[in-house]
């Protein structure tokens, strides 16, 4: 049976679907919608969504929170035999943390050519000679869904912004400021 034939039932697609559900939670909380899960065997051991605004913590990326949660679940910082699924290519901070935790694989949805650290801008996961662990990378899993949730989030944010500015301007005109 080919991977294509399996479609949505392919485990990578299924688990990325779970990561996308986490991204939707972020969206609902007005956070940049990125979600991550960590799987060991066929068990999801950690789920997390980006919570930078919620926690007022610039390090609270979905991957960082998922790594901490997986380490707690396993009682070990070594995530051997684990796969991290994340909707967007990890940034350098997250990629650095991922290498330290040593999961076998990292699967992501959409790439980030500007700031990605899994091959987009740089590659800390695979070609990192001074580091002592390398992760296998697979990209482009449910890419369209992962791109579209980000696009609609930023479109909405721009519209909210524009509306806010328009309201402010109208208010200023009402008060004769402009
Ligand atoms: Zn990150």
Going residue by residue through the chain, which has 178 residues, state the pLDDT in tens, using 9 for 90 and above: 445 556 667 999 999 999 999 999 999 999 999 999 999 999 999 999 999 999 999 999 999 999 999 999 999 999 999 999 999 999 999 999 999 999 999 999 999 999 999 999 999 999 777 788 999 999 999 999 999 999 999 999 999 888 888 888 887 777 766 5
Ligand 1 geometric centre to CA of 6 (Å): 30
Longest dimension (CA), the chain: 71
Q: What is the pTM of this model?
A: 0.89
Of residues 7, 32, 14, the one with CA closest to residue 88? 32
Ligand 1 geometric centre to CA of 3 (Å): 29
Ligand 1 geometric centre to CA of 90 (Å): 5
**Residues in the chain, how many?**
178
Catalytic residues: 63
């Amino acid at each position: 049976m080919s991977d294509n034939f399996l479609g949505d039932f392919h485990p990578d697609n299924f688990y990325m679907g779970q990561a996308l559900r986490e991204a939707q939670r972020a969206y609902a909380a007005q956070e940049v919608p990125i979600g991550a899960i960590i799987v060991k065997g066929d068990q999801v051991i950690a789920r997390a969504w980006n919570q930078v605004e919620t926690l007022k913590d610039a390090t609270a990326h979905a991957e960082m929170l998922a790594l901490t949660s997986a380490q707690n679940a396993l009682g070990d910082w070594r995530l051997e035999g684990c796969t991290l699924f994340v909707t967007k290519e990890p940034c350098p901070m997250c990629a650095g943390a991922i290498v330290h935790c040593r999961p076998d694989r990292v699967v992501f949805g959409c790439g980030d050519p500007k700031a990605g650290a899994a091959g987009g801008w740089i590659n800390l996961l695979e070609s990192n000679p001074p580091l002592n662990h390398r992760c296998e990378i697979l990209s482009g899993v449910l890419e369209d869904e992962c791109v579209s949730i980000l696009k609609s989030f930023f479109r909405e944010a721009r519209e909210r912004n524009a509306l806010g500015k328009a309201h402010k301007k109208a208010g200023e005109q009402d008060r004769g400021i402009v």
